[in-house]
Structure 1
Amino acid sequence: MPAPVILHGRITRLEPLAPHHIPGLIAAAAALEAGFTVVPHGEQEARTYVFQAEAAQLAGSALAFAIVTGADDCVVGATRFTRLDYWQGPLTWPLSAEPVTAAPGGAIPDAVEIGNTWLTPAARGGQVNLDAKLSLLTHAFDSWGVRRVTLRADARNLRSRAAIERLGAVSDGIRRAHSRGLDGAVRDTAFYSILNDEWPGVRGRILEQLAVRAMRRAPLIPALRALASSPIG
């Protein structure tokens, strides 16, 4: 499993999910209704959410992050690397010419999925998701050197699918009756991917979208400051 790392974007900071993020998670999730992604509501759910994320990290199956705004240190959501795939056995980072004889703690994957992403409503539709995705994709492709990043969404979740498609990810199709959704219904799942040779084009596309949104200067930060100062209960 790759070692935890803090990822610094232009307006966000992705921090390995930890207990000190619990109050921020509670505040960020308070305005969210039940949907297609697991979101922790209340202190008990938030504690369980963080505990399970830490357990997944120790098991080598996921690396979860709190999404924090750089301007005011406000937790606005969460995301993670998951389903890490090792094709020819684990490699260590930095890369070494020496043969790998055991699975080290710093193993890096050949392919990975980005998912379990949610944002507080005040942070949607602007730069936050794009900036966070850029940080994750840059780390996956440029630091780890993965061959593929996968993204997926409940086929009914048109908002998430549109956001994935705006990144420039390629549709791999819909897997019918793929799993059970949070609402109990058997769901179809839309799969997307970005390959390493497609990454430069995707990066350029994301940077262009960030520039456009920066010029618009939507009133995002005041809304997030209000969130950060709201009482937690």
Structure 2
Amino acid sequence: MPAPVILHGRIARLEPLAPHHVPGLVAAGAAFGSAGFTIVPHGEQEARTYVFQAEAAQLAGTALAFAIVTIEDECVVGSTRFTRLEYWQGPLTWPLSAEPVVTHPGRAIPDAVEIGNTWLTPAVRGGIVNLEAKLLMLTHAFDGWGVRRVTLRADARNLRSRAAIERLGAVSDGVRRAHSRGLDGAVRDTAFYSILRDEWAGVRLRITEQLAARVEVRRAPLIPATAEALHPFAAPIG
């Protein structure tokens, strides 16, 4: 499984999701109604379960979840995660195995990954926080891990989310019909998008220009300039 990290931005910081984020998740989720397109924890018990399940997925090597924290006021405003990690290393064998090939235990690096399960409290939704969070995660995936593909998906009915993904410069891979059950119980179509390694430079420039149009860039860069600046999260999770 990939090592957890803290991703430092100018507007927001992404921290590995942990129990101390529960009060912030409760406050951030309180502004949501009971239904939506993404799972949002409501109340302390749901928030604790949300964090527990995220930690279990991280230990299993299937996901790496973050709390999104604003730097100015140190408030938790939502959550996001790397999920559906794919590993292509090692010799091709039959039958094929979904288990990662681990050179260094606890440090397996994915070849492809999905960014998803993202939600933000309405006060900051659709703004610069989400844009910078996506840039931080894409930078870590492509420049830190060296992945070949990042996937993003959305309920086909979620036009707001689809528009946000398209503004990043992600390419549509089509809509999978009757793909799964939505949170409202209806059978949903799912819109898939992807960014490939060869497309990353253009996407990075596109997002950086969008950020620059919204904030005044002074001395500090919007994101760490190199993969080495993405400091490993040394403390154990949990």
TM-score, with normalisation over the residues of structure 2?
0.84
**4+ aligned runs moved over 6 Å, structure 1:** none
Question: Are the aligned partners of 2:154 and 2:190 in contact in 1 as well (CA < 8 Å)?
Answer: yes
1:30 match: 30
Aligned equivalents of 2:206, 2:55: Cα separation in 1 = 33
Q: 1:43 to 1:162 in 2, by over 3 A?
A: same
Q: How well do the aligned residues superpose, as a CA RMSD in angstroms?
A: 1.4
- Kept in 2, the 8 Å contact 1:65–1:78? The answer is yes
Shift of 1:151: 0.1
Can you list the C-alpha shifts for 1:23-71, whole angstroms capped at 9, x where unaligned? 0000001001220000000001000000000000011100000000111
Structure 1 counterpart of 2:187:
186
The reply to whether residue 197 of structure 1 matches residue 205 of structure 2 is no
| Corresponding residue of 1:218 | none
Q: Which residue of 2 aligns with 1:21?
A: 21
| 2:82 alignment counterpart | 81
User: What is the TM-score of this pair, normalised by structure 1?
Assistant: 0.86
1:142-183: CA deviation from partner (whole Å, max 9, x where unpaired): 000000000000000011000000000000000001011111
- Matched residues in 2 for 1:5 and 1:159: separation? 29
Letter in 2 for 1:8: H
Higher helix share: 1
In 2, the alpha carbon distance for the partners of 1:49 and 1:110 equals 26
Query: Structure 1: which 5+ runs fail to align?
Result: 91-99, 216-233
C-alpha distance in 2, partners of 1:211/1:79? Answer: 23
**Partners of 1:50 and 1:89 in 2: how far apart?**
32
In structure 2, relative to structure 1, the CA distance for the partners of 1:101 and 1:167 (3 Å cut) is closer
**Matched residues, number:** 206
Report the AA paired with residue 37 of structure 1. T
Give me the whole-angstrom Cα distance separating, in 2, the residues matched to 1:7 and 1:79. 12
> Relative contact order (C-alpha < 8 Å, sep 6+): which is higher?
2
Q: Which residue is 2:2 aligned to?
A: 2
